[in-house]
Amino acid sequence: MGNQIAEKEKPSHLQHHFVDSDQQFESSKFGMWIFLVTEILMFGGLFVAYIIYRSWHPDLFYLAAKELDTALGATNTVVLIASSLTIALAIRAVQLDKIKAAINYMAATVVLAGTFMVIKYFEYTDKFAKGILPGAGYTYDGIAHDMAANFFSIYYMMTGLHGIHVVIGMGLIIWMIVKAKKGAVHSGYYTPVENTGLFWHLVDIIWIFLFPLLYLID
């Protein structure tokens, strides 16, 4: 009988295999961190490629980075930092049960992520127009270096994989807005918003490294 009473007091979000909400929250968050580790190591492969090519052809990286627009790269860095701030504020709002504010902060995050992608779109199309395409598609002759195509292959792979993550992040945040509108997240249960926030901050951290490594080679 005692067990049945305890069963009734369980909050609806609590899965039966957890002792309490805190254990569920901690486990879920730990799982998210494990996933982020795999993300770091996936991007790690690309960073290793970058490091090896730069150690082989430092002159190429110096020449090719001049083709990248530092102003646009810096703007995108500011945009992503702002989006990290808004998602952090969204989590704070959910923790304080200010669901309406949380939805607004998440919507702002989606808008900022969209801004990032629009700027990236202009950067890509500008390069495509010049014939700067990854791999065999490279036809640009403005860089006096035999290996110029390789820099841009690395550039497109790193920023492309990052861009895919931004789009996925936008999808996750929109999903969280839907959840918040349904009243599925609140101060007692905000695990999905917290984990989406962790994902989004990791996307920000990766860009924090991509920006100086690709755009700021002097």
Partner 1 sequence: MSTHHISTFATLMSVAGTLLVLTFLTVAVTWINIPEPFNVVVAIAIAILKAALVAMFFMNLYWDSKFNTVVFLMSILFLIIFVSITLLDTMFRDAGLPVY
Binding site for partner 1 (CB under 8 A): 22, 25-26, 29-30, 33-34, 36-37, 40-41, 44-45, 47-48, 51-52, 55-58, 70, 74, 77-78, 81-82, 84-85, 88-89, 92, 95-96, 147, 150, 197-198, 201-202, 204-205, 208-209, 211-213, 216, 218
Question: Would you say 39 or 184 has its CB closer to partner 1?
Answer: 39
Side chain identity, residue 127: K
* Residues 207 and 77: beta-carbon distance below 8 Å: yes
Q: Return the number of the residue (90 or 177) whose C-beta is nearest partner 1.
A: 90
Q: Please list, in sequence order, all residues whose beta carbon lies within 8 angstroms of the beta carbon of residue 46, skipping any fewer than 6 positions away.
A: 154, 157, 158, 161
Angle 58-65/21-56 helices, nearest 10 degrees? 110
Q: What's the min distance (Å) between Cβ of 170 and partner 1? A: 18
Minimal distance, residue 136 CB to partner 1, in Å: 13
Which residues make Cβ contacts (< 8 Å) with residue 76, sequence separation at least 6?
116, 119, 120, 207, 211
Supply angle C-alpha 49, 34, 176, rounded to 5.
105
Written as six digits, the tokens of 209 are 């490294």
Instruction: Output the smallest distance, CB 123 to partner 1, in A.
Output: 17
Give whichever of 27 and 184 is closer to partner 1, judged by the CB atom: 27
What is the rounded CA–CA span in Å between residue 197 and residue 190? 11
Nearer to partner 1 among residue 172 and residue 204 (C-beta): 204
Rank residues 26 and 178 by Cβ distance to partner 1 and give the closer one: 26
Q: How far is the CB of 4 from partner 1 (least distance, A)?
A: 27
Tokens of residue 113, six digits:
């992520």
- The nearest distance, CB 97 to partner 1, in angstroms, is 11
